[in-house]
């Protein structure tokens, strides 16, 4: 991996949350990972303990289904300068295992798993769907 200098004039990031990464410089490898359970309820009344835990859902127990590299790819990179020049960047948000990276990144393996629930109240029944 060829080392380069990053020259950054201005970066504005409004939010960096939930395993999001902001990096200036060279990185050998990055493996951000996040898990979440999201509940949206009609009426927006929440208890401290909803009884929803990661170990109750197979989504969080399964191994990732990564693609198999069947074909070897040859790559030749020509950098016209040893400096990465950045003027202005404005980012609303970096979240859920995403990366804002300025520089070289040799290897990336990111994973985000979120189980979504919607709970609707119809009459006296509480229906939760996923």
Bridge partners of residue 7, in order along the sequence: 85
Q: What ranges do the domains of the chain cover?
A: 5-64+83-129
Report which secondary-structure segment, H or E, holds 119. strand 111-122
Q: How confident is the model at residue 126 (pLDDT cuts 50, 70, 90)?
A: low
CA atoms within 13 A on the CB side of 6: 14
User: E strands along the chain, which residues?
Assistant: 5-13, 21-24, 27-30, 33-41, 83-91, 99-102, 105-108, 111-122, 125-129
Residues 33-88 pLDDT 10s? 888 888 888 876 767 767 788 999 999 999 988 888 778 888 888 888 889 999 99
Q: How confident is the model at residue 1 (pLDDT cuts 50, 70, 90)?
A: confident
pTM assigned to the model: 0.69
């Amino acid at each position: 991996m060829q080392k380069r200098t990053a020259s950054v004039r201005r970066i504005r990031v409004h939010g960096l949350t939930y395993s999001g990464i902001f990096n200036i410089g060279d990185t050998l490898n990055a493996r951000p990972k996040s898990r979440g359970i999201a509940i949206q309820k009609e009426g927006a009344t929440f208890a401290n303990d909803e009884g929803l835990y990661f170990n109750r859902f197979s989504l969080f127990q399964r191994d990732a289904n990564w693609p198999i590299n069947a074909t070897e790819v040859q790559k030749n990179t020509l950098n016209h300068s040893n400096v990465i020049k950045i003027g202005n960047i404005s980012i609303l948000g970096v979240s859920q295992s995403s990366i804002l990276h300025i520089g070289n990144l040799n290897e990336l393996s990111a994973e985000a798993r979120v189980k979504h629930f919607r709970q609707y109240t119809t009459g006296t029944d509480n229906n939760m769907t996923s």
